[in-house]
Chain A
Amino acid sequence: MDPIVSFQGVTKRYGYLSVLKELDLDVAPNEKVAIIGPSGSGKSTLLRVLMTLEQIQEGIIYVDGQPLTHMERNGALVPADERYQRSVRGKIGMVFQNFNLFPHMTALQNCMEAPMNVLGLSRQDAQARASELLEMVGLADKMQSRPNRLSGGQQQRVAIARALAMRPKVMLFDEVTSALDPELVGEVLNVIRKLGDEHNLTMLMVTHQMGFAREFADRVCFFYEGRIAEQGPPNEFFTDPKNERTRAFLSAVLEAH
């Protein structure tokens, strides 16, 4: 099957510092990929360049067969302009570590804003879609609350519903439980589990929750210094890591728990 996301020789630099180095990565439709690695290894950057929050310097990213970072002009690929990029990036949704909800809008309005003003849904349709999703994440009673009246876990669930309301094909989760108090992590992971069971979604998640990655992901990628140092199915990956660095990282993480 053709990959839905494909990184081909992608390099991302900040000044002289390369955060992604000639990265190749294919993700199949409906695949759940967990991305782990030490901080500064480029794992969050991978999601950020895919969401077009950052520009890449070399290589091409394809989404659903279409180039995302480039567009075709007179038979050649040139860097994409904003308008073209918007036409492709609609297939991607993202959830952030710090939720980034819109503080001046209620939970419901957060989920209706983009469907109405980007997709052009009517108010009724947008509201129906938003309330359905908020119900799914277990927040039927919080629709009229503004973000600062919600707990971190509740805010993150609103953020997930908000991203889903755009009907993306690919969802990016960037350390979505890292800013949460420990007792709130479970409710967010449960929502992600439910999503995996009930929806046809490709998911890329940067996470520090090794247990969740092992149980939920189809594949685990270990990032080290801007490259994928090792990847494989979770059972293999966690029980028999081949790479020296993977072993060091895993034992350090497991020791901490």
Chain B
Amino acid sequence: MTIRLAFLIALMGFTGGLMVASFAGFREFIPGLLMGAWVTVQITVLAAILAVVAAMAAGLAKLSRIRVLRWIANIYVEIFRGTSALVQLFWLYFVLPHFGISLSAMTVAVVGLGLNVGAYGAEVVRGSIQAVAKGQYEAATALNMSRSLTMRRIIIPQAVAAMLPPWGNLFIELLKATALVSLITITDLTFRAYQLNQVTLRTVEIFTLVLVVYLALSLVITIGMRALERRVGADFGTGRVL
């Protein structure tokens, strides 16, 4: 793992250095790209929050004893996993106005990507909850805990620890998917790159630089999730005491 990280950092440093060294006059692009990156970050963060909420709700609903809830969750997950993210964005952006619902491009981006990643996350949530040992439920019953208390205090905290690594991957997929919002007129990092390319025709430099920025952002996600995993891992007795 550390080797992987070291790799990324080395690669970034190398490419970054190359950029700065070889392409003088590159500075003028930086502000536009930074503004685009900021939009990308905003969409990623907001959609990630929505994804976690949707995944929790759908994952729990899939395990519910109430059949209607299971149905709704299944339909949601199958629709959003079964159609492509771009189709979903276009549907929300171009079709929804036909039903009298006009959302801003930004709202479409956050809702569309959040629900898309949430559908994949629902499977992660369900899997991690089912992976908690049966003995934990039995111990909770023996302590006369109610079902909801058992879920809230015993099962979900353990499931959360198990679901962090797959969530890290999902967040990176989300970051990558934010590039799609450039196709519904949002001026994110990808949009800026496209625009600059049209104006300056310096294809290699611009797209390489933008790819490196995306790489750096996903590195931030990876490192952040690692830190979170270590923290939560500490809750299971690897050192830290409350």
Chain B interface (Cβ < 8 Å from any Cβ of A):
133, 135-136, 138-139, 141-147, 149, 153-154, 157-158, 161, 235-238, 241-242
Contacts and interface: CB of A to CB of B under 8 A. Distances in A.
A102 B161 CA distance: 13
A52 interface: yes
B118 to A, nearest CB: 25
Contact of A113 (B135, B141, B153, B237): B153
Contact of A103 (B142, B145, B236): B236
Instruction: Find the residue from A94, A114, A148 having the highest chain B CB count within 10 A.
Output: A114
A147 interface: yes
A114 B237 contact: no
A12 interface: no
Given A100-B138, A102-B154, A118 B147 contact: no
Contact of B141 (A53, A101, A145, A147): A53
Interface in A73-121: 82, 86, 89-90, 92-94, 96, 98, 100-104, 106, 109, 113-114, 117-118
B68 to A, nearest CB: 20
A121 to B, nearest CB: 13
27 contacts: A51-B138, A51-B142, A52-B141, A53-B138, A82-B147, A86-B144, A90-B144, A93-B142, A94-B142, A96-B142, A98-B135, A100-B139, A102-B154, A102-B158, A103-B237, A109-B242, A113-B143, A113-B154, A114-B144, A117-B149, A118-B143, A118-B146, A146-B237, A147-B237, A148-B236, A159-B139, A166-B144
A113 B153 CA distance: 8
A128 B67 CA distance: 43
A162 interface: yes
Instruction: Find the residue from A89, A102, A149, A159 having the highest chain B CB count within 10 A.
Output: A102
Contacts of B236: 103-104, 146, 148
A163 interface: yes
A144 interface: yes
Interface string A29-72: 00000000000000000000001110000000000000000000
A82 B65 CA distance: 14
A117 B138 CA distance: 17
B237 A117 contact: no
A162 B141 contact: no
